[in-house]
Structure 1
């Protein structure tokens, strides 16, 4: 598994040669061993990437993330087969115990709200309202304290006028960008473990092909 997160920000040509990613830019030509790369973020629409490089990065389990003209992540690569994907792993995932999934979801929501409280404390913000939601958390979060805590969290952190779904808000753009990167990293780990990203423990939207990563990132965001 690689250790470098490589970000391409300007005009460049990315290709593959002798186990290296070759990046040709206006400043020169650079080579990075494919085995060193953890995530490749193509943070520009002015880069060209060869199919040979994409193939080799996929073999190494490297996640490639592409952005749109607004510099926001718009797509990422997902391998057909993880390095250790096998039939038994799929069967195990299909047969995850329902009660155990509910226990995990409760712990994930508790961890998310706890992290929110820690962030508010770190910035000397009011956190009592969010703490109250954590105190009322029930098994499997039947009363959806995750959502109510999030609303109070963002208001306490950014002000009462802040709206998380306001696409014109600069803060939301930054949050969405960071969240997309985090989602991709979690998704990469899931695939490397041989699991299917669309089989989650709580999220169930038919439009979400990455339900498991959506479950897994909640305790880490904010």
Structure 2
């Protein structure tokens, strides 16, 4: 099972040899067995990488994330074919029923708000948590009344203050965006690995967004990032902050009756949602919990 998250921070050359990722840097040569890697994060723009390695990373469905000059995720490697029956899966995806999509989106939104409320109660924000729990009772199919948006405003103001907005340019938002990007990429990997397109979402339909479905599925996992950002109280967004956020993939949660790394939990969860969509059965969705 792939479980390692490898982060490349310095100038080096990445190559493939005998099923190993070979990192050639000034400090020396190091190797990592490819079958152990779940995510490869390339932070430094001075990194060079061979074509044969890229092809093998794609073949093994290893998520590769590239960062820009500010070390923020800006692109990822997405294989053209993630499944042997991707044509059939695409037909299924195009045929997903609106009523089922609406119900599943409602379930995802409810789970997100439920976890936000739990987080607020842990922070002793009882009044705001109670308000979010009331929103849970008001969710309609496809979240027509936008309980998610109302809950987000209450939630972020309770965590970071009344004056906080997600549009500000500060360390908190930089950390949130970075962490969300890592989780989004993990969801994209699983969508493609199961033979579906990330572009065709169940709620998100932005014509300029190549990851609409990923944006749908990632919602319940965002709280994992929120927890770290609030706990660490980042004053500056530096390399140490990025390491802590990437390491979220190695945290443990409980899903489907077993304790799993977050990286593996995302795999189980995404497949369950995709199965629910294709089989018109909302009960197939498997959400994670913090209780180990």
- TM-score after normalising by structure 2: 0.73
Task: Specify the SS of the correspondent of 1:182.
Answer: helix
Q: Which residue of 2 aligns with 1:155?
A: 157
Q: Distance in 2 between matches of 1:205 and 1:54?
A: 29
Match of 1:213 in 2: 214
Unaligned residue ranges in structure 1 (runs of 5+):
none
**Structure 1 residue 25: Cα displacement:** 1.9
Number of the residue aligned with 2:167: 165
Q: Name the Cα RMSD after superposition.
A: 1.3
- Is the 8 Å Cα contact of residues 84 and 193 (structure 1) preserved in structure 2? no
> Higher helix fraction: Structure 1 or Structure 2?
2
Could you tell me which runs of 5 or more consecutive residues in structure 2 were left unpaired when the two chains were aligned: 224-292
Given that 1:39 and 1:62 are in contact with CA atoms closer than 8 Å, whether structure 2 keeps it comes out as yes
Change (3 A) 1:83 1:136: closer
Is the contact made by 2:142 and 2:203 (CA closer than 8 Å) also made in structure 1? no
| Residues 26-84 of structure 1: per-residue CA shift (max 9 Å, x gap) | 32211112222111001222211111111110111111101112111111111111133
2:173 is the counterpart of 1:203: no
Which residue is equivalent to 2:278?
none
1:46-85 correspondence to structure 2 within 5 Å? 46-85=46-85
Q: Which residue of 2 aligns with 1:182?
A: 183
Say which is worse superposed, 127-136 or 176-185, in terms of deviation: 127-136
The 2-side partners of 1:9 and 1:85 are apart by 37
**Normalised by the size of structure 1, how large is the TM-score?**
0.95
What residue in structure 2 maps to residue 5 of structure 1? Answer: 5
